[in-house]
Amino acid sequence: MYAGRNSMRGSIVPTSVRPIPTSIFSTPSAGCFLTQRRRREVSLMKIETSRFGTIEVSPDQVFTFPMGLLGFAKYKEFVVIDHTEDSPFKWLQSVEEGSLAFIITDPLFFCPNYQIKVRRSELSMLKTIGEDDLVVSVIMTIPENPQDMTANLLAPLIFNMGNRTGMQHVLTNSSYSVKFSVLKEKPANPLPVLADGKRPKAISLS
């Protein structure tokens, strides 16, 4: 566990961080767990970061974004780091550039009716796709006044937990905003519960 050296603006200040080896947003991912023996066999990578100091991660914890992110196409590898243990926020930390990190979260946390429909052909860079392996998050912007925080709902991040790949997908013909006001928008009604009692995911494939 590593102490954060720099803080996020506003009241959201990380007191400790740890890489997330198995999931993000408490979504289980089969095949992503590392046994203790496997951890001993894997050579850990050291990453020098401006926010968290030196962190150590296993190659199994790295997500590869073949096309990078919008405006940051040359950076392909990232790890997801807890903000705090119970926080809905995470950090998407670049492996290649220690000063590059994004605040991300599950959009259903503040927009319970958020759902995107994506064609499988649009996710070809994620390779083999199983809908249960997909996790959606969005990039947050948190200014000096946290009441003004916004979320980019128009260009969500899609993670394939099965093979640790990811992409930023820009929605077309969508009413979602790049600056959704998280605390000022009227709360929406959640999506209907499915027949098995579970809530729908934020993504569906066609």
Residues 6 or more apart in contact with residue 171 via CB below 8 angstroms: 116, 154, 155, 156
Yes or no: say if 12 and 87 are a contact pair by the CB < 8 Å rule: yes
pLDDT value at position 22?
37
CATH number at residue 169: 2.30.290.10
Query: Is position 142 within any domain?
Result: yes
Q: Answer whether residue 179 is part of any domain.
A: yes
| Within-domain flag for 3 | no
Residue 185 lies in a domain: yes
- Cα distance between residue 61 and residue 21, in whole Å: 5
What range defines the domain where residue 95 resides? Answer: 36-205
What confidence score (pLDDT) does residue 3 get? 27
Residue 86 has what pLDDT? 81
What average pLDDT score do residues 1-15 get?
34
What's the predicted TM-score (pTM) here?
0.78
Tokens of 101: 């990190």
The two three-digit tokens of residue 129, written as one number: 């796709």
4 occurs within a structural domain:
no
- What's the pLDDT band for 192 if we cut at 50, 70, 90? low
Total tally of structural domains belonging to the chain: 1
Q: What is the pLDDT of residues 50-80, one digit of tens each?
A: 999 999 988 999 999 999 999 999 999 999 9
The Cα 147–Cα 125 span in angstroms is 36
Are the beta carbons of 43 and 89 closer than 8 angstroms? Answer: no
User: For residue 40, what is the enclosing H or E element?
Assistant: helix 36-41
Residue 57 belongs to a domain: yes
